[in-house]
Amino acid sequence: MKSPKPYPRLKAPEDKCVPADAKQRGELSELAFLHRASELGFVVSKPYGDNQPYDFIVDVGPRNRGRSLFRVQVKSTAHMKDDRYHVKCQFCQKGGTAIYSVAECDIIAVHIIPEDGWYILPVDKIPPRDQLVLAARNCLRQGINGKYREAWHLLARG
């Protein structure tokens, strides 16, 4: 006997089912980030509560130069248009929304759900926008953010 699915699902490219509820999608992507970063040897911590504009702190160990802690905001998307994924890069604050800057987080990690792939975007290297457009894995033209696909090494360098 099959058990019922607890949440409605959206059909995504590559025949993967994606939770229709945005909060659940975000929570699953946070778990996916925790899993992938831990697999790669990073120490990952989660701040208590939901009051920070970032989801995780990644400890990359002591460094001679550069950072050893990164504030990471996890975003997710399954929304594709013209071989490009679209993801909102804004957060709620009193009186409306704001675009992420280095004051809020160091890295935006975007989970491309249908591909189970990641873009690791340093906030100080990308133009401030309320939405990012990211190429699908099979797209010939990767665009200006293509160099950040699976760029986990950016965390390792510190």
Query: pTM value?
Result: 0.83
Count of domains for the chain: 1
Q: Residue 93: which CATH number?
A: 3.40.1350.10
Is 2 part of any domain? no
Q: Has residue 53 been placed in a domain?
A: yes
Question: Which segments in the chain show pLDDT lower than 70?
Answer: 1-20, 63-67, 140, 157-158
Burial of 100 (0-12, 13-18, 19+ CB in 10 A): buried
Type and span of the H or E element at 117: strand 117-122
Residue 48's DSSP bridge partners are none
Residue 3 lies in a domain: no
Bridge-based pairing state of the strands 107-112 and 69-77:
parallel
Domain membership flag for residue 1: no
pLDDT in tens, 72-89: 999 999 888 888 899 988
Q: Given this model, what pLDDT does residue 9 score?
A: 45
pLDDT at 158: 53
Q: Exposure of 132 by Cβ count < 10 A (0-12 exposed, 13-18 middle, 19+ buried)?
A: buried
Terminal CA-CA length for the chain: 50
Q: Which two tokens stand for residue 149?
A: 């696909």
